[in-house]
Structure 1
Amino acid sequence: MKKFLLAVASVVLGAASAQAADLAAHYTKAPVMAPAYNWTGFYVGGNVGGQWGSSDPTTSTVWSPSGYFIGNNVRALNAVGAQHVNSSSVTGGFTAGYNWQVNQAVFGLEGDINYFGFKDSATGSAKYPCCASSFTVNSSVSADWLATIRGRIGFLATPSWLIYATGGAAIADVKANFNFTDTDDAATESGSIRDTRVGWTAGVGGEYAVGNGWSLKAEYLYVDLGRATTTSTNLTGLTQGPFPSSVFTHSVDLKSNIVRVGVNYKFGGPVVARY
């Protein structure tokens, strides 16, 4: 009986030792750390898209006892002088900025300068209420370039996918020309505006990091450059005038919607490890 028990114990101990040795031979590696994209750093890029803008240029005058117009004629001119133009064009240019990533939030400062391509004109004519003669008012508005300086604040939907809001200053060189012509004595008046306007812009966008510092973005911006105004007293006719008391006021505003896509390249910056 003792021999039998010893034999059984030897078999059990041998099996346990073999199992322990087998377990010791298997192990699991720690997962390899992969680099996660970090948005902190300086970047440059380019963009291309389209702009759809509008402007309301106006020409108006006032009645004066020594002026050219009588009351009803002033009202008719002011009504025709309230004009509207639309413009759409391709836009594109260059971008530079810097981002700071704090956990899942990204804060940034970005500037860009772009070809804007805003250009349009309007013409209106009418007869004076008093008489058979008529008049015409012409307006033209253009802005060749647009620059913005904007803050950005966003959050990371994934380590590579940034969704952001942006807003700041918009700057453009706005040009407008105005002409009034009258069939009576060929009376004419003209005015012009050229003003580097500083307005505001705001929008939203998304940017996706594709790796090695490169990212792709798409964004929408609304731009409002406010209104500029000038006056003139140069109304004169072929045989009459001048009429300095007939003061003309010209003004122009400019608003635009911009949709564009772009590519950015970020220089250096830290790399964060992830499992």
Structure 2
Amino acid sequence: MNKFLLAAASVVLGTASVQAADLAAHYTKAPVMAPVYNWTGFYVGGNVGGQWGSANPATTTLFPVAAYFADSSVTAIGTVGAQHINSSGVTGGFTAGYNWQVNNAVLGLEGDINYFGFKGSASSTAVYPCCAPTTFTVNSSVSADWLATIRGRIGFLATPSWLIYATGGAAIAEVRGNFSFTDTFAGATESGAIRDTRVGWTAGVGGEYAVGNGWSLKAEYLYVDLGRSSMTSNNFNVGVALPAQTFTHSVDLKSNIVRVGVNYKFGGPVVARY
């Protein structure tokens, strides 16, 4: 009986020792830290897209000063001189900016300069109400080769890598307009030109996705309004100069821009996530 008890005790003690050894051999690995993109930092990039917009050039003259135009002719010139031009084309350029990430909010300041490619013209002819069948013609052309913007951005992170933002600020472009007036009554001529670096406004929305290693892809829409610019001329000529007859020319320019781009962010912290 004693021998049996000794044997049983030996088996129990041996089993406990093996279990203790097994328990000592087990361990838990520390969780792997996954890097999370942080948007804080300076970035540069490029973009390409399309623009479509319109300009509304206008030509008017004063009521008879030099005794050439009838009152009805002045009114008709203003009506015919109110023209409309549509333009569309490819746009693209370079971007630079800085972001500050605060929790799930991202604040930023961004600037860009782009090829704009706005260009169009209009021509209208009408009969003088007083003096049919003689006619007059108003020609207008409008262009803007480049566009720059300086904008603030404010957004939130839908995910750590996906930024949705609104943006707005100043839009700058050199707007050029060329105008001419001619008629068949006495071969009258007049012309004017506008060269004006306009400061208007822009606003839009966009989304940007971080693909890693500092790179991100974006898509955005901007609306641009450059306001109206005008000039006057006193070079009216009917074989002899009539400088008292003043013409006024003006133009506004508005555009919609849709573009995609790629940015590269320099440095900036990377936050660990378990």
Using structure 2 for the length normalisation, give the TM-score. Answer: 0.94
Secondary structure of the equivalent of 1:185?
Answer: coil
CA contact (8 A) 2:47 2:92 kept: yes
Cα deviation for residue 199 of structure 1 reads 0.3
Report the alpha carbon displacement of residue 244 of structure 1 after superposing the two structures with TM: 2.9
- Note the residue ranges of structure 1 that are not aligned, 5 or more in a row: none
The answer to whether residue 146 in structure 2 is matched with residue 145 in structure 1 is yes
Deviation at 1:68, TM superposition (A): 1.9
Measure how far apart 1:205 and its partner are: 0.9
- The answer to whether residue 79 in structure 2 is matched with residue 75 in structure 1 is no
1:234 alignment partner in structure 2? 235
1:204 corresponds to: 205
Q: Judge which range, 6-15 or 58-67, deviates more.
A: 6-15
| Contact kept? 1:64, 1:245, Cα under 8 Å | no
Q: Distance in 1 between matches of 2:26 and 2:156?
A: 43
**Does residue 1:120 correspond to 2:120, yes or no?**
yes
Q: Secondary structure at the match of 1:231?
A: strand
**Cα displacement (A) at 1:258:** 0.5
1:1-275 correspondence to structure 2 within 5 Å: 11-132=11-132, 133-238=134-239, 241-275=240-274
Distance 1:50 1:244, change over 3 A: same
Residues paired across the two proteins, number: 273
The CA deviation string for residues 132-188 of structure 1, in whole angstroms up to 9 with x for no partner, is 210000000000000000111111112111111111100000000110101111001
d(CA) in 2 for partners of 1:123 and 1:9?
113
Which stretch shifts more, 251-260 or 23-32?
23-32
Cα shift at 1:2: 7.2
Name the SS of the counterpart of 1:269 in structure 2.
coil
State the shift of 1:16 in Å.
3.6
Identical positions, percent: 79
Q: Which structure 2 residue ranges, 5 or more long, are not aligned?
A: none
Given that 2:203 and 2:224 are in contact with CA atoms closer than 8 Å, whether structure 1 keeps it comes out as yes
Cα RMSD (Å) of the superposition? 1.7
| Separation in structure 2 between the aligned mates of residue 49 and residue 163 of structure 1, nearest angstrom | 19
* Alpha-carbon separation, structure 2, partners of 1:134 and 1:159: 66
Q: What is the CA–CA distance in structure 2 between the aligned matches of 1:9 and 1:109, rounded to whole Å?
A: 78
In structure 1, the residue corresponding to 2:207 is in which secondary structure? Answer: strand
2: CA distance, partners of 1:10 / 1:158:
60
Equivalent pair of 2:155/2:164 in contact (CA under 8 Å) = yes
1:231 CA displacement: 1.0
